[in-house]
Structure 1
Amino acid sequence: MTKTVRRSEQGKGARTRERIIDAAVLLLDADGEAGLTFRTLAMRLETGHGAIQWHFSTKGDLIAAAADVVVGRALTGAAPGAGAGAREAIRAVALAVYDVIGAHPWVGDQLARPPWAGAMLKIFERLGRQVVALGVPAEARFTATSALLIHIVGAGRQEAINSHSLQARTDRQDFLDDLAAHWGQLDAGEYAFTRTMADQLRGHDDRAEFLAGVDLVLAGIEHLEHAAAGHVPRPSTHARR
């Protein structure tokens, strides 16, 4: 009897915690971290502060838990097609994280905070398993996985910031046209390269560029794999003249 009551209480507590997180996500999506307070959340849930603080002692703990849940759901759905290899699995994880940060911009800020924990560790683990499946030598796995993680989270977060800023100001294409025109008029001596990128900036697709960056990192990782197998020439050890 006691065990049955305890399980019932645990189940009720888990449901309450889930309701708190779901309500917090809605507030974070609407108004960012500034819009989430225990008072506002208590009003939304029609409960008292104590019920919330029983599960989350601080606002930071709640945001971390919310990010963990949102990212966890995204990763659960990040399954490539049947028969897909490690490369496709990594791209699926990358797109899932990119999209979840785009849908919930506050998640990008949370993932960028040290130390790596919760949601960030989940992404690192998923990527790392596929890096191992690619055949990357053990001594290079941390670097390879970290490079993927930094690009995915960093690019996703920056794109979310850009999108939010554009929504408040102007149409995306108008913005890119104006920025490209500015690049084209930069000093030819000081910005010789940037001037040549104006047309590509004007017509680029954010999602395609993000995936191209993932593929660039993967190309470097695969180079490590081939080098470990002896398929890639290693730099000469002869002394330079």
Structure 2
Amino acid sequence: MAKRAQRRADGLSRELIVKAATELLDAGGEAALTLRAITDRLSTGYGAIYHHVENKGDLLAAATDEVVAGVMTGVVVDAEPRQALRAVALGLFDAIDAHPWVGAQLSREPWRPALLEVYERVGGLLHALGVPERSIFDAAGALVNYVLGVAGQNAANARLLASGEADRAVVLSTAAARWARLDPDRYPFVHKAATRLREHDDREQFLAGVDIFLAGIAALR
């Protein structure tokens, strides 16, 4: 048994550890990611893990970097800038939906390579779109904050629904019924939006918001 564990440790790599960490995070969230769980999953010892990562925080950050790098790699480099920006935004939305812990980590450590890559790609695409240099910083910040904020909230809602504490259709139907009962003179917009609230698709609404941002950014040229 000891020799088998030693051979496993000898073949260990940072990539393998990060992959195992991602699987643990997807299955149980940040609470599931412990060094003990990693060693059990990889049949190795703490020393072999510490040879590649400093601690749990380093491992969580590395897993986040890997997920975001996958999104950036999936965007066609020579695509039309507006379409590429939509692809980056939607890629991040889907990635955070699939890996809810990513959104929290990006907010916690904005200096990490993952978020720097997002800003670099968005800033470059805004430049290619013809946004004036004086406006790129604000435009990139507004767009990235929208993407991460909505994606993070969507992931949080998905976790709540997955826990069995609520059902999306029931939640939306209940909220829409309350909106519909409001005084239409005092809340004309909310009253009219009740039907759309019940039927809306989160992903489509997110992308509509991205298009609104891009339309506003286009006016800066």
TM-score, structure 2 length as denominator? 0.89
What is the match of residue 5 of structure 2? none
Give the deviation of 1:117 after TM superposition. 2.1
Shift of 1:194: 2.6
Question: Post-superposition, which runs of at least 4 consecutive aligned residues in structure 1 deviate over 3 A?
Answer: 12-15, 186-193
Report the TM-score when normalising by structure 1: 0.82
**Over aligned residues, Cα RMSD in angstroms?**
2.0
Question: Residue 110 of structure 1 aligns with which residue?
Answer: 105
Does 2:11 correspond to 1:19?
no
How far 1:200 sits from its partner (Å)?
1.4
Shift of 1:15: 5.9
Task: Give the CA deviation at 1:140.
Answer: 0.4
Q: Partners in 2 of 1:193 and 1:29 — Cα distance? A: 38
**What is the deviation of 1:188?**
5.5
Among 171, 187, 204, which residue is 2:200 paired with?
204
Structure 2 portions without partners, runs of 5+: 1-8
- 1:44 corresponds in structure 2 to 41
The answer for the alignment partner of 1:141 in structure 2 is: 136
Once residues 152 and 14 of structure 1 are traced to their aligned partners in structure 2, the CA distance between those partners, rounded to angstroms, is: 39
Deviations, residues 139-163 of structure 1 (Å, cap 9, x unaligned): 1000111111111111111111111
Structure 2 counterpart of 1:185, one-letter code = R
**Contact 2:110-2:116 within 8 A present in 1 as well:** no
1:1-241 to structure 2, matched below 5 A, reads: 16-79=13-76, 84-167=79-162, 168-186=164-182, 191-225=187-221
Decide whether aligned partners of structure 1 residues 115 and 170 sit closer, same or farther in structure 2, where only a CA change above 3 A counts.
Answer: closer
Q: Which runs of 5+ in 1 are unaligned?
A: 1-11, 226-241
Deviation at 1:184, TM superposition (A): 2.1
Structure (1 or 2) with the larger CA radius of gyration: 1
Matched position secondary structure for 1:212: helix
Query: How far does residue 195 in structure 1 lie from its aligned partner after superposition?
Result: 2.8
Instruction: Assess, with a 3 A threshold, how the Cα gap between structure 1 residues 189 and 57 changes in structure 2: closer, same or farther.
Output: farther
The secondary structure found in structure 1 opposite 2:21 is helix
Paired residue type of 2:119: F
Looking at structure 2, the residues matched to 199 and 69 of structure 1 have their Cα atoms a distance apart, in angstroms, of 39
Instruction: Call closer, same or farther: CA 1:14–1:160 in 2, change over 3 Å.
Output: farther
